[in-house]
Amino acid sequence: MSLQRFELDHHSESVSVEIVTQAERLQELCESWLKQEVLAIDTEFERTNTFFHRLALIQIFDGHEIYLIDPLQIDQLDPFGEVLSSSNVLKTLHSCSEDLEALHNSYGYEINAVFDTQIAASISGLGQMMGYGSMVEAMLGLTLDKEHTKTDWLKRPLSEEQKIYAAQDVQFLLPCFYQLRETLLDKGHYGFVIEDTESIYRAIANLETFDKAYLKVKGAFRLTQKQLNRLQKIVSWGENLARSKNIPKTFIFRDNQLLEICQTEKPTTGLLLEVGCNRGSIRRYGSDLLNIIAQADEQPESEWPQEVVAFHKLTGAKQKLKTLKEEANKVAQQHNIPEEALSNKRLLEYYIQTDMGLMVRSNQFWNSWRQELLQPRFEQRLAENT
């Protein structure tokens, strides 16, 4: 069996790269990767006219060689699923959310033991939301080629330029990981990165219903409870429909259109045209939308969701936000954590709203390590200001 291989010798770093297109070869590699302490992983995908990612390539660096796994050539990736689910093999990625989403939704594999170098760079004080190239330049002094953002990763064969770019995306992850791990272990913050990454994955994997999805719609606070009940039902329907049809949610109806529709006493097909809905969407989904609204209107008021109040209109919200920000800053300084890595405005607003018993979107980063550091202090400060 002939294998596609080449040497990547950019930036004075020579490493072999293998293109993996056979299931048997992948099985061999996965057996060896299960014995590794850590792997660097990246993916390439397309998500232009679909809801779900179309996975095009999986890159692995085991510290010795880079492997480009072609999921368009290999139907059975279960051996790789074992690697992803293993708690004994740490998977290092950079800005991992879409990679984890692509892998999980494509195959349904459980993914454990993940370390995100972007989160690690943030918590260690290197910088917030650093791109991979910026991190590599800051930590290793290397300047990488610009990203191929417009390349077609689903087209075969891959160009030599694509292969080199894909390989470089994992080539320097492990050196950065080892430096970041040392810094974080010295500060006692290593576990924070693991937990934040786990929180990202759980938000992807543990989708329940979409009953709170309407809270993401900008301008929902302008609606009455009756109108919110409509919005809740049609947004949940749209979320499910987009997934079942594998189309972007905007291919159904847009949020600003849904707001106008919900605010109209008796919406009709004519109204859908007036607010700018696509004719094809109206033809395919318009009657279902109007039926859902009619059914929502038949529900008793006791089942309607509570009103959404804009944060700035909540009693004492501005002062509470200022108070908690001051307290979070003190905690950040005491524990040598960058202020932006510990908390942000959205997290503080989430805490204040839940403390007031309001319906609010979940926040994956209000996890155990932040709760342990912040919650007692927040409770104390808010009690003092009552």
Q: What pLDDT, in 10s, does the model give residues 49-77?
A: 999 999 999 999 999 999 999 999 998 89
The CATH number of the domain holding residue 81 is 3.30.420.10
Q: Are residues 235 and 292 in the same domain?
A: yes
Q: Are residues 108 and 81 in the same domain?
A: yes
Q: Are residues 197 and 262 in the same domain?
A: no
Q: Are residues 16 and 125 in the same domain?
A: yes
Q: Are residues 274 and 361 in the same domain?
A: no
Q: Are residues 232 and 258 in the same domain?
A: yes
The CATH number of the domain holding residue 233 is 1.10.150.80
Distance CA 167, CA 338 (A): 32
Name which of 66, 53, 107 is nearest 84 in CA terms.
107
Distance CA 15, CA 258 (A): 53
Q: Are residues 287 and 316 in the same domain?
A: no
Q: Are residues 25 and 153 in the same domain?
A: yes
Of 303, 337, 371, the residue that ends a domain is 303
Q: Are 166 and 159 in contact, with CB atoms under 8 Å apart?
A: no
Of 303, 321, 354, the residue that ends a domain is 303
pLDDT at 6: 77
Q: Are residues 154 and 217 in the same domain?
A: no
- Average pLDDT of the segment spanning 347-351: 97
pLDDT at 148: 62
- Compute the mean pLDDT over every residue in the chain, rounded to the nearest whole number: 94
Q: Which domain holds residue 295?
A: 213-303
The helix or strand, by DSSP H or E, that contains position 266, with its residue range, turns out to be none
Distance CA 89, CA 371 (A): 28
Distance CA 36, CA 125 (A): 28
pLDDT at 14: 84
Of 255, 274, 303, the residue that ends a domain is 303
Q: What is the pLDDT of residues 236-279, one digit of tens each?
A: 999 999 999 999 999 999 999 999 999 999 999 999 999 999 99
Q: Are residues 56 and 192 in the same domain?
A: yes
Higher local confidence (pLDDT), 369 or 386: 369
**Global confidence as pTM:** 0.93
Distance CA 242, CA 82 (A): 29
Using CA atoms in the order 19, 42, 194, 347, what is the torsion angle rounded to 10 degrees? -170
Total of domains in the chain: 3
3-state secondary structure of 46: strand
pLDDT at 3: 46
